[in-house]
Amino acid sequence: MKPLSFLLSFLFVTPTLLAEEGFKPLFNGKDLTDWEGSPDHWSVENGIVIGTCSGPDDLDHNTFLIWRGGTVKDFELRATVRIVGDNNSGIQYRSRERDDIGPWVISGYQCDIHPAIEHTGMTYEERGRGIFGLNGKNVILDHDANRWLKSEHPPIKVDVTQWNEYTIIARGNHLIHKVNGQTTSELIDHDNKGRTLEGLLAIQLHRGNSNRVEIKDLRIRILQDGKILPYDPSALAKSAQKIDKPRTVNPQGTGPIQRP
C-alpha cells in the first residue's frame, strides 16, 4: 500500500497533468534538433530559443526557424514568447516554403506577435492573403475570399516585451488565436482556393528594426475532431457584415496605422 503522503501528492498534481495531457514538447531545451533556420540568426541560450536581427541591413526578407519534425494539420499549440526591440514576430502554421524567394522563407497562416495592440494575436497570412481579422475581430472568409465580420470584442491588451503564452487551435477550417488564455481573433476560412489544411510550423524573425525574439515552452497536441464547417452564403449575409481587408502603413513595430 502507498503511504498517505504519496496519495496526497498525487491528488494535488493530477489537475495539472490532466490540463497538459496529450501535449508534446517541440524544443528539447538544449539545441535546435528537429529545427532548421539561418545559423547566423538562431541559437539556444539557457534553454531559450533566440532569433536575432541586428538591424535593417541584416536581412533581405523575413526569415524563419522551421520545424522539421513533420507537418501540422488539426492541433492545439502553446508557446511562451517575448520580443526585445521595436519589431514583431509570429508563429507560422499550415505553411509552405518559398524557395523561389530564398532559404527559410515561409508563406501561410500566422498568429502575429506584435507591439501594436490591433495586431497582436490577429489572424494573418504571410506572403498570401494578408490580414484577416485584427485583435478583437472574428472573421469569416467566403468562397471568393471576401471578409465578413462575425463578431467583435475589445482587443486583448498585451505587452509583447514580457513573457506571454500564445495559443493556436486549428480544427478544419476554423482557426482560433489566444493570448494568455483570452481569445484575440478567430477565422473560419471558406476560401477553398486559398486556404490550407496542413503544412509546416515555423517561427518568424522579422527584418528591419533591430529585434530579438525569444521562445520557450513550445508544445503541441494533435486534435482528431477537425471538421470543415459548412458554407451557407444566405446565413452568412444575415449574421455577418462584409468588411474591407485591413491594411497597415508600417508592418514592423508600433508604427502600424489601420487604413480606412
| Alpha-carbon span 182 to 160, nearest angstrom | 15
Domain membership flag for residue 181? yes
- The verdict on residue 143 lying in a domain is yes
Cα–Cα distance, 205 to 216 (Å, whole number)? 15
Q: Is residue 228 part of a domain?
A: yes
Alpha-carbon separation of residue 239 from 125, 149, 150, 219, 243 (angstroms): 25, 9, 7, 35, 13
Which residue, chain included where needed, has cell 535546435? 32
pTM of the model: 0.90
Q: Is residue 85 part of a domain?
A: yes
Using CA atoms, how far residue 55 sits from 113, 164, 167, 253, in Å, is 19, 24, 29, 13
Query: What residues make up the domain containing 207?
Result: 22-243
CATH number at residue 229: 2.60.120.560
Provide the pLDDT for residue 4: 46
Asked whether residue 17 is domain-assigned, the answer is no
Inside any domain, residue 63: yes
Please give the Cα distance from 124 to 65 (Å, whole number). Answer: 18
Residue 114: inside a domain: yes
Give the tens place of pLDDT for each residue, 18-41: 446 899 999 999 999 999 999 999
| 3-state secondary structure (DSSP) of residue 9 | helix
Q: Which parts of the chain sit beneath pLDDT 50?
A: 2-19, 256-260
Number of domains in the chain: 1
Is 186 part of a structural domain of the chain? yes
pLDDT of 132-185, one tens digit each? 999 999 999 999 999 999 999 999 999 999 999 999 999 999 999 999 999 999
Separation CA 147–CA 111 (nearest Å)? 18
